[in-house]
Structure 1
């Protein structure tokens, strides 16, 4: 009787989730506005005060904050290096995710989790300024302002209980203000022993999520819930004064 109840429970959960996704998706399509108009483009001098105030969050830090330096050269450098950085970052991400996936698949009795596609796309991040602190300690503190409206294609295939499902992340947008500290500074390459990373404010993360080809983020209420959950989780891990520490000196010496 217990096994029968468990099976019925799983069946009811699966049917309920499926019906909820379908109903939510069609409700979103039904209530979606059809009278979409092209935005009116005008010179800045013709905008009123309210329009100018709405543009303030999009203004680069180096414009509205004198402590931030303009670093267009770094954006151009990353733009030229992006095809190679894309492959390197994706390779590193797979290596980092491999033991984590192996641990969780065994824990939750999942058959396999594999990356079908993993690419960051053709659009590199943009550096909107950088603030550098001068201290009496043997350290270098930088705060780059980063915005990335990318077109990545991250598709994960999950197999469990004889069912195969695909999860795809698309249209990723990230806005963050990290603090990167190199300390202590040493007279041998790479001239620092540790990298300390933290976020000075909650990042903005926006993305599209497809489950079995359907846009899950189109379900009313789910988008806001996911946004708040991501911001909260990232803040709990990396928001200052919490720090992510990485030791680089040993890795550099071993590579040399």
Structure 2
């Protein structure tokens, strides 16, 4: 009873509202007009600020136009990276539908083109199930191993701190595997893995109050895995050797102050530096060898001696 008159009076006021007042924007009636005006004024000042500063310093208007062009190119690069990341996520969600739609050949997995490349969906399911545990291990590795090493590199990096480390829900995917057994010796197995990683990882790092970060990575490449030598006792494999056959395709979606790396001119240099860093460690002839058995001499695995055509033919005959 007590609340009914209020409801009724409100309904009466709504019905008797002047037509001109009813036609006004909702922002006017809700009292948020001052906030909208302030926001519009702030945006206007933000746009006019560089122009005023250029005039105050006596700079030519061409500098303003150059800055505007760079800002527009930077925004275009950022949107292009986000769109490519979203498209890659859509492809991972439903690979079968993407293949049926007839995507460009360079986007199709290797098993579509080459009959000797096998699909390994069971392995991808294992990776999906185990990825949260791998992510936890990687987060611990970044905090306990990578962070101290970065701080020890330079006195200016002593304040380096990882503020957020999250490897996301999307795990690496293997689009196909090609195994070599006849073309090599009997004491090894060689696998070529078509790696595809479209990650929603997010890593942020603070250095002297500057926030640097990564928010999304795309990586495509052929990773060769060599299991050698094969043993007659546990763990049955002496060591694992890893390397990329060629430079992998890499795209990084930056965050924080790292967004400056997407500025035209700088983005080409930064991408080249990252590619060179990967090549110096993971691209043939460079390789990573991890021993699985104690007291295993891996020098000849890390730096193998090239074999002649005669020796290669002998290996093929022995394996057959």
What TM-score does the superposition give when structure 2 sets the normalisation length? 0.58
Are 1:105 and 1:113, in contact at CA under 8 Å, matched by a contact in 2? Answer: no
Distance (whole Å) between structure 2 residues aligned to residue 220 and residue 61 of structure 1: 33
Q: What SS is found at the alignment partner of 1:101?
A: helix
| Aligned-residue offset at 1:115 | 1.0
Deviation at 1:81, TM superposition (A): 1.5
Q: Specify which structure has the higher proportion of strand.
A: 1
CA deviation profile, 1:41-67 (whole Å, cap 9, x unmatched): xx99998xxxx6x71111111111122
Q: Tell whether the 8 Å contact from 1:24 to 1:219 is kept in structure 2 after alignment.
A: no
User: In structure 1, what is the equivalent of residue 203 of structure 2?
Assistant: 154
Secondary structure of the equivalent of 1:132?
strand
Q: CA RMSD in A?
A: 3.2
Contact conserved, 1:61 with 1:129, CA < 8 A, in 2?
A: yes
- Pair 23,218 (structure 1): closer, same or farther in 2 beyond 3 Å: farther
Provide the C-alpha distance between the structure 1 equivalents of 2:240 and 2:191, rounded to a whole number of angstroms.
11
2:132 is equivalent to residue 83 of structure 1? yes
Which 5+ residue runs of structure 1 have no aligned equivalent? 1-21, 252-256
CA distance in 2: counterparts of 1:114 and 1:195, whole angstroms: 32
Specify the alignment match of 2:290 in structure 1.
246
2:226 to 181, 193, 197: 181
- Residue 237 (structure 1) aligned to one of 268, 276, 281: 281
Residue 210 of structure 1 is matched in structure 2 by: 255
- 2:157 aligns with one of 90, 95, 110: 110
Query: Using the alignment, how far apart are the partners of 1:204 and 1:190 within structure 2?
Result: 34
Aligned with residue 190 of structure 1, among 235, 251, 254: 235
Superposed displacement of residue 150, structure 1: 0.9
Q: How far does residue 75 in structure 1 lie from its aligned partner after superposition?
A: 1.0
Name the structure where helix makes up a greater proportion of residues.
Answer: 2
Q: Which of 1 and 2 has greater Rg?
A: 2
| Alpha-carbon offset, residue 138 of structure 1 | 0.9
| Distance in 2 separating the partners of 1:56 and 1:180 | 25
Answer yes or no: is the 8 Å Cα contact 2:147–2:162 preserved in 1.
Answer: no
* Kept after mapping to 2: 8 A contact 1:145/1:178: yes
CA distance in 1, matches of 2:75, 2:151: 41
**Change beyond 3 A, Cα 1:96–1:143:** farther
Higher relative contact order (CA 8 A, sep 6+): 1
* Deviation for aligned residue 1:227: 2.0
* 1:126 is aligned to 2:173: yes
Deviation at 1:74, TM superposition (A): 0.9
| In structure 1, C-alpha distance between the alignment counterparts of 2:121 and 2:187, rounded to whole Å | 27
TM normalised by structure 1 equals: 0.72
**What's the counterpart of residue 10 of structure 1?**
none
